[in-house]
DNA sequence: CTGTTAGCGCGTTCAC
DNA sequence: GTGAACGCGCTAACAG
């Protein structure tokens, strides 16, 4: 089934069919309905490649992701797909295996010109040190934002969550529970969210006058949490009152090490994974699906709005939800 | 940069460049090197859309997935991407939101002809009741297999895991630990793995002479596990000796309900999520990444081997790994 | 409002 | 071994 064939069957020309397909305004209601009927009858779908070649859109959105946690990845992808498919589009996914990989993948995607636009999920912050590649398609940053210094990169649209607010609420809660000494097991500092949460923790701790606090970097997965517990906090006498972990995984690592002594110490995570709920662990919920949906919507809007190229960068900042559970509540410990 | 431009720069014709690109045999060594040099110098990459339109390959592999657990989804996708990118290919991902959706998505993907081949991750079993859509591109089933009745569907390549073996080992282990009454919280029966595990449990239980066993269907996520515990096993006196859950999530739901009484009862999961390890829960590890890699490799082989269309269906069955932990070991309970 | 014409970049016959 | 011509299915001018 081709456009040409549809035209024949509808007793019209290819152009007319094409116009119907692209929602051209100046077309008579009658012709449009007639064409649509034929299209419907034969389940016709335009060939994306021909369309792309002729200068139109492909309906393909590129998605670049770093090797992040599966839960986060999957939910964001789901969000992206939801938004893309609402407009009959599809996503082309590539996953970077290392840091260098990311910029290389980006350049290849940009060069091969097979997508209408590109969404960068959680790029390693190093990326912003390199110059913004020359591009003729719009880019959207998902779960990341360039530092003030990276001027060119800051022209891009971005979608992030309000880490600072969540962290402030979390620290305040711990203080209210009477915890005096709080340790933040921060994430790898080449990850945007990790950097943000670290900074937010430090600021909140100072601002709210936490009597004693420490920050340790580089925690991403369970083993990182375990490792730190074994090396730095092997004896209960060394323990603080509370651990604020970069994410749930790290928190689980901590829990595994202090097992049997949960009563004495608060542990909080981040991501609100299903397991956090089961374990009764306090955690910050990230709107992952929404993160994806919003990113794709932003990209699609840039694409549909041809004048948008000149529009200023938009920054969406989504809200998180703090789930307080027994792992941090003194009364219920 | 187009093929035509490369031809000009190399002082030859478009056809020659095209032949070099497609590894045509009858081309002089000298011409080939010359062309390759120019290509390299200008970082030329052929336009995928033009290539596709002219009848060639696009390097795009379609991936259809149902709305499965994020961990599984993410890891399989990763595997697919690894295998695809090894051959400079990319994956186009679509996620079905409901059951009907799946077959509709499949048809659209097939119709719009935008991918070289298609990988179906965990399609709802209902799909196999409908006729195999007419197709001119190869299909591979990932984590699923059609029933014997669906003849046409059984012509497709597939990659699955050996659920039966894992389940047998698991039941044997529980028996050896002295458990007399085992309950299987089976998954939704329109999911291949759920059906397989259910059947395998029943067979193993009979074959190994488990004194008492029951099977309850429809468990997919934590709340399902919780629900069943509250309705059917609200009092400890009703508890069996062991629960074999469809997956880790369901198992967590059970654990949450029997909290504080873990000593009295064994609970096993499936998927070996990181949390299972932290909690010390016995679980079966699925080779998720490998599942994806193998699927993509199979598809790519069909694509490269033009004579393969006639080849018989291949069925890869991957092995699982049983991780025995304290949640099922009597001595350590 | 609609039909006609000309490519988009490439693979693939054909001839030479 | 190489080049010329054609067409893949579609969009985008240009006429009418």
Residue B320 pLDDT greater than 70, yes or no: yes
Closest chain B C-alpha to A208 CA, distance in angstroms: 33
Across the interface, whether the CB atoms of A48 and B114 are under 8 A apart is answered yes
Show which of residues 31-90 on chain A sit within 8 Å of chain B, judged by CB atoms.
43-50, 52-53, 58, 60, 67, 70-71, 73-75, 77-78, 81-82, 85, 90
CATH of the domain at A41: 1.10.260.40
Residue A175 shares a structural domain with residue A261 = yes
pLDDT at residue number A31? 93
In this predicted structure, the answer to whether residue A325 has a pLDDT above a threshold of 80 is yes
Nucleotide C3 C1' to residue A31 CA (A): 14
- A44-58, A285-299, B217-231, B312-326 — which is least confidently predicted? A44-58
Q: Which residue has the higher pLDDT, A214 or B236?
A: A214
Q: Are residues A214 and A118 in the same domain?
A: no
Q: Are residues B41 and B66 in the same domain?
A: no
Shortest alpha-carbon distance between residue A146 and chain B (Å): 26
pLDDT at B100: 80
Between A177 and B256, residue with greater pLDDT = A177
Instruction: Identify whether A54 is part of a domain.
Output: no
What is the token pair recorded at A300?
Answer: 């699609």
Rounded-to-integer distance, Cα B242 and Cα B285, Å: 19
Cα nearest neighbour of B255 on chain A = A278
Query: Based on the domain organization, do A230 and A294 belong to the same domain?
Result: no
Determine the average pLDDT of the residues in A44-62.
Answer: 88
| C13 C1': nearest CA residue | B15
Model confidence at B333: pLDDT above 50 = no
Question: For B148, which DSSP code?
Answer: T
Alpha-helical segments (H) within chain B: 3-10, 14-21, 29-41, 48-53, 70-86, 99-112, 163-176, 192-207, 222-232, 248-257, 274-279, 288-304
The answer to whether residue A247 is domain-embedded is yes
Same domain flag for B254 and B172: yes
Is residue B300, in this structure, part of any structural domain at all? Answer: yes
Domain membership flag for residue A76: yes
A292: pLDDT strictly greater than 90: yes
Contacts of A228 (CB under 8 A, 6+ apart): A185, A216, A219, A254
Once rounded to an integer, what is the mean pLDDT over residues B63-81?
93
pLDDT of residue B332: 47
Residues with CB under 7 A from strand D: A 2-4, 14-15, 18, 21-22, 46-47, 50-51, 53-56; B 12-16, 19, 26-28, 30-32, 50, 53-55
CA of B51 to C1' of D13 (A): 25
Residue B304 has pLDDT above 50, yes or no: yes
Spanning CA of A155 to C1' of D8, the rounded length in angstroms is 39
Chain C footprint bases within 7 A of protein beta carbons: 1-13
pTM of the model: 0.92
- Do B144 and B222 belong to one domain? no
Q: Which nucleotides of D are covered by protein (CB under 7 A)?
A: 1-5, 7-13
A252 touches chain B (CB under 8 A): yes
B52: in domain: no
Binary contact (B45, A74; C-beta < 8 A):
no
- Is the domain of B26 the same as that of B78? no
Among B13-17, B158-162, B326-330, name the most confident range.
B158-162
Check pLDDT > 90 for residue B290: yes
Same domain, A275 and A180: yes
DSSP for B100-141, written as a single string? HHHHHHHHHHHHHT-SSEEEEES--GGGGGSPPPP-SS-EEE
Q: Among all chains, which residue has been given the structure tokens 């509808």?
A: A10
* A128, A229: one domain: no
Residues of B in contact with A1 (CB under 8 A): 111
**Residue B140 binned pLDDT confidence (cut-offs 50, 70, 90):** very high
Question: For residue B274, which residues of chain A lie inside 8 Å, CB to CB?
Answer: 221-222, 249, 252
Residue A132 lies in a domain: yes
Q: pLDDT category, A112, cuts 50, 70, 90?
A: confident
Residue among A60, A73, A278 whose CB faces B222 most closely: A278
Strands (E), A227-293: 242-245, 266-270, 282-285
pLDDT in tens, A243-287: 999 999 999 999 988 876 666 799 999 999 988 888 889 999 999
pLDDT of amino acid A306? 59
Please identify which residue in the block is written with the tokens 């695809």: B84
Q: Which domain holds residue A168?
A: 163-286+321-328
In a shared domain, residues B37 and B113: no
Select from A295, A205, A78 the least CA-distant residue to B95: A78
Q: What is the mean pLDDT of chain A?
A: 91
What stretch of H or E contains A170? Answer: helix A163-176
Strands A181-185 and A242-245: parallel
CATH, residue B100 = 3.40.50.2300
Same domain, A269 and A311: no
Q: Domain for residue B174, yes or no?
A: yes
pLDDT for position B330: 66
Query: Is residue B214 situated within a structural domain?
Result: yes
Total of domains in chain A: 3
For A3-27, the pLDDT digits (tens) are 999 999 999 999 999 999 988 888 9
Minimum-distance nucleotide, CA of A22 to C1': D11
Measured in angstroms, what separates residue B304's CA from nucleotide C13's C1'?
Answer: 22
CA A147 to chain centroid, in Å, comes to 17
Residue A280 and residue A174 share a domain: yes
CB A247 within 8 A of CB A269: yes
Å from A53 (CA) to D15 (C1')?
Answer: 24
From the candidates B274, B280, B292, which should be mutated to test the interface with A, based on the most A CB atoms within 10 A? B274
Which range has the worst mean pLDDT, A329-333, B180-184, B303-307?
Answer: A329-333
Interface of B with A in 117-176 (CB under 8 A): none
- Contact check, Cβ <8 Å, A274/B249: yes
């Amino acid at each position: 089934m081709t456009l040409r064939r549809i035209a024949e069957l509808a007793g019209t020309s290819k152009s007319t069919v094409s116009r119907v397909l692209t929602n051209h305004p100046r077309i008579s209601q009658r012709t449009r309905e007639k064409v649509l009927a034929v299209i419907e009858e034969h389940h016709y779908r335009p060939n994306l490649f021909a369309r792309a070649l002729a200068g139109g859109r492909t309906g393909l959105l590129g998605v670049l992701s770093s090797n992040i946690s599966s839960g986060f990845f999957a939910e964001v992808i789901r969000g992206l797909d939801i938004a893309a498919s609402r407009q009959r589009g599809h996503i082309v996914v590539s996953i970077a295996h290392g840091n260098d990989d990311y910029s290389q993948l980006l350049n290849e995607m940009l060069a091969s010109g097979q997508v209408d636009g590109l969404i960068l999920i959680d790029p390693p912050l190093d990326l912003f040190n390199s110059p913004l590649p020359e591009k003729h398609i719009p880019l959207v940053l998902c779960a990341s934002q360039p530092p003030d210094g990276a001027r060119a990169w800051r022209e891009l649209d971005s979608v992030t969550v309000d880490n600072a607010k969540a962290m402030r609420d979390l620290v305040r809660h711990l203080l209210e529970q009477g915890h005096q000494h709080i340790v933040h097991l921060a994430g790898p500092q080449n990850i945007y969210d990790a950097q943000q949460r670290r900074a937010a923790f430090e600021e909140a701790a100072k601002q709210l006058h936490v009597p004693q606090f420490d920050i340790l970097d580089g925690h991403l997965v369970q083993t990182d949490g375990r490792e730190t517990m074994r090396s730095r906090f092997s004896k209960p006498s060394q323990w603080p009152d509370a651990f604020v972990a970069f994410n749930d995984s790290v928190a689980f690592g901590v829990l595994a090490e202090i097992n049997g002594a949960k009563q004495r110490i608060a542990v909080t995570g981040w991501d609100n994974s299903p397991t956090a709920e089961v374990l009764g662990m306090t955690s910050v919920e990230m709107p992952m699906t929404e993160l994806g949906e919003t990113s794709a919507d932003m990209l699609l809007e840039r694409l549909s709005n041809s004048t948008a190229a000149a529009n200023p960068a938009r920054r969406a900042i989504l809200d998180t939800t703090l789930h307080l559970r027994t792992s941090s509540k003194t009364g219920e410990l």
